[in-house]
A and B are shown apart, each in its own frame.
Chain A
Amino acid sequence: MTTAKTLYDKIWDAHLAHEAEDGTCLLYIDRHLVHEVTSPQAFEGLRMAGRDVHSPDKTIAVPDHNVPTTLDREKGIENKESRIQVEALDKNAHDFGIHYYPVSDIRQGIVHIVGPEQGWTLPGMTVVCGDSHTATHGAFGALAHGIGTSEVEHVLATQTLIQKKSKNMKVEITGKLQPGVTAKDITLAVIGATGTAGGTGHVIEYCGEAIRDLSMEGRMTVCNMAIEGGARAGLIAPDEKTFEYVKGRPHAPKGAQWEAALAWWKTLFTDEGAEFDKVVTLRGEDISPVVTWGTSPEDVLPITATVPSPQDFEGGKVEAVQRALDYMGLTPGMPLTDIAIDTVFIGSCTNGRIEDLRAAAEILKGKKIKEGIRAMVVPGSGLVRAQAEEEGLADIFQQAGFEWRLAGCSMCLAMNPDQLSPGERCAATSNRNFEGRQGKGGRTHLVSPAMAAAAALTGHLTDVRDLM
């Protein structure tokens, strides 16, 4: 009998509160993150059933999707529906006694940036949120995934989730990355290789030297887009970098509890000989700076490539590619570096952390963006913003011609006024290039922060290595 376990197996086993005969399990949830868009109906459901929040101490809320990011936002939210949603979260957080970072709090930001920043997210935890990018927290070796609103209500009421165990998938990135290649390029390259359904039904563990070499910020970027590869969760085993990042954060354990936690965290790795249902291996040296050209995150190519033709594909993808090229206004055979852009967006839960802003500022330092380009930086949290100002990054962005905004999800999904107009083309550090994602008719090219900065300088998609 084999006893070797994967990291996912270990976290799963540690959180099993009940298992029925048919294999349906109740998984205990250590942290429940909440935002304003996917929670109002869940709280309403609790009220209607006369139920309380089971563990308010493990429930953390922050408004992010709808909030304005302009500097005058203290005057309130103009859009009535957005305002009602944020006000509903204010009220629900107050009425049910959960932890809350309102818009006025400097700690406010994108829920997946605030959780780690405040030390809510710790290794070996189960973390859920009514948001598919919850996978971000997997960077800490936490089992973290997105849930729907009915499940939000279920977790609020019971602190558990009804689950069946997923399969184990290993994504290994061997060797070293080339200069100019970042965590974003890794995660996009993986989706390009496996497709947007490649991870469906699986939990991905990312490993290998190139993953180990990443900072915690980089690891969060990689795990963040596990969902774009179809996997509900992505994991990276915790190590000294993880512990160093967590130590001293407001909600991290202290003193004797820190020592006890550390002892357990150090057991959180995949055992030698543990089996995976699926294995994908990429060589770090083979990964280039990449961009997306279509309307699915799997539509990825190295920046040195040309726009593909529908004939390069087969099955249902042929029609999908034709539709994508029509929507994106692109012609097969065109060099990707010839694609002129109108807008640059740096931010989101994928790339809105301090290291992302440093990488972009490094490219922009002392330079001006191309005339006519609209460019904005939306830091992932108020604290990221403050740190960037302290490090002089805000000055670099502003002198280059970028708008320097307040924290929120912003143009990643365009629920607030930060949107693309029909036909407007954007180099974005966010996570989805779906039709209409950044505004009806808007055209999105997903890139790393350094590549977004490079595009802002030249006015077209650009190989950042040419500017380094």
Chain B
Amino acid sequence: MDKFTKITGVAAPMPLINIDTDMIIPKQFLKTIKRSGLGKNLFDEMRYNDDGSENPDFVLNKPAYRKAEIIVAGENFGCGSSREHAPWALLDFGIRCVIAPSFADIFYGNCFKNGILPIVLPQEQVDILLKETEKGENARITVDLEAQEITTPDGEVFAFEVDPFKKHCLLNGLDDIGLTMEKLDSINAYEQKAAVERPWV
């Protein structure tokens, strides 16, 4: 997994609430057995017309936001299915950070496993950032995970919360299976105890 330390990039506004995982990556693209290559189908049904051409009105098709690394979104971003194809598609497109007033739980967790930082901010601050993103290519926002700070193009700074363990893994690009493997003794001890207490499992 790629580390996430600090990025400065263009932020694209997607103020719609309840952007679900079917919108982020429709089911016809879940048939892959790989993690890569999904970026071209990110937001497929909003991004392309029926004939396959680009919908010029969709935010990520606008010149200013084609290389966006950050999305500023409405509440409950990532609701719906558990498909990790959603963060894979975001990452493959180049999105490293999503900022919203709230996220669906499974999507939120999936982001951290893939080097994407989801940030929860109060609606008022999200609204300020959405205004800033209207500056297009000049809407370059800095996200500093170490300091837990977002800096707007105007220099305004917003602090954000992040779980210390998730932060540690993201800052260092750690594979958490490896970390858990270090606790195999605890797992084995648990299994021995459980085999006595609940042998039917």
Asked whether A257 lies within 8 Å of B200 as measured between CB atoms, the reply is: yes
Q: Is A414 an interface residue (CB 8 A)?
A: yes
Residue in B31, B81, B186, B194 whose beta carbon sits within 8 Å of that of A81 in the complex: B31
Considering the complex, which residues of chain B in the window 68-89 have a beta carbon less than 8 Å from any beta carbon of chain A? 74-76, 79-84, 87
* Alpha-carbon distance between A30 and B190 when the two chains are bound, in angstroms: 12
A2 to chain B, nearest CB (A): 24
Q: Which of A21-29, A366-374, A460-468 contacts B (4 or more CB under 8 A)?
A: A21-29
Instruction: Please give, as numbers and ranges, the residues of chain B lying within 8 Å of A162 by CB-CB distance.
Output: 165, 176, 180
**A236–chain B nearest beta-carbon distance, Å:** 20
Count the B residues whose beta carbon is within 8 Å of the partner chain — how many?
Answer: 55
Q: Would you call B76 and A200 a contact (CB within 8 A)?
A: yes
Which residues on the B side are within 8 Å of A260 (C-beta)?
Answer: 199-200
In the complex the two chains form, what is the Cα distance from A172 to B190 in whole Å? Answer: 34
Beta-carbon contact of B163 and A153 below 8 Å: no
A-B interface pairs (CB < 8 A), number: 181
CA of A79 to CA of B32, assembled, Å: 12
Given the interface pairs A30-B201, A200-B104, the reply to whether A160 lies near B187 with Cβ below 8 Å is yes
User: Which residues of chain A in 417-451 are interfacial with respect to chain B, using CB atoms and an 8 Å cutoff?
Assistant: 422, 432, 434-437, 440
- Given contacts A88-B33, A232-B106, is CB(A435)–CB(B186) below 8 Å? no
Number of residues from A at the complex interface, CB < 8 A: 79
Which of B16, B45, B80 neighbours the largest number of chain A CB atoms within 10 Å of its CB?
B80
Decide yes or no whether A56 CB sits under 8 A from chain B: no
Contact yes or no, B187 A319, CB < 8 A: no
Interface residue B53 (Cβ < 8 Å from any Cβ of A): no
In the complex, the answer to whether A316 meets B82 with C-beta atoms within 8 Å is no
Residues of B within 8 A of A24 (CB): 163, 165
Question: Knowing A436-B26, A440-B26 touch, does A197 contact B82 (C-beta < 8 A)?
Answer: no
Within 149-170 of A, Cβ neighbours of B (below 8 Å) are at 149-151, 153-154, 157-160, 162, 164
Shortest Cβ distance from residue B74 to the other chain A in the assembled complex, whole angstroms: 5
- A147 with B113: CB separation less than 8 A: no
Chain A positions 124 through 155: 1 when the CB is less than 8 Å from some CB of chain B, otherwise 0: 11000011100000000000011111110110
Please name the residue on chain A nearest to B50 by beta carbon. Answer: A422
Contacts of B31 in A (CB 8 A): 37, 66, 79, 81-82, 84-85, 415
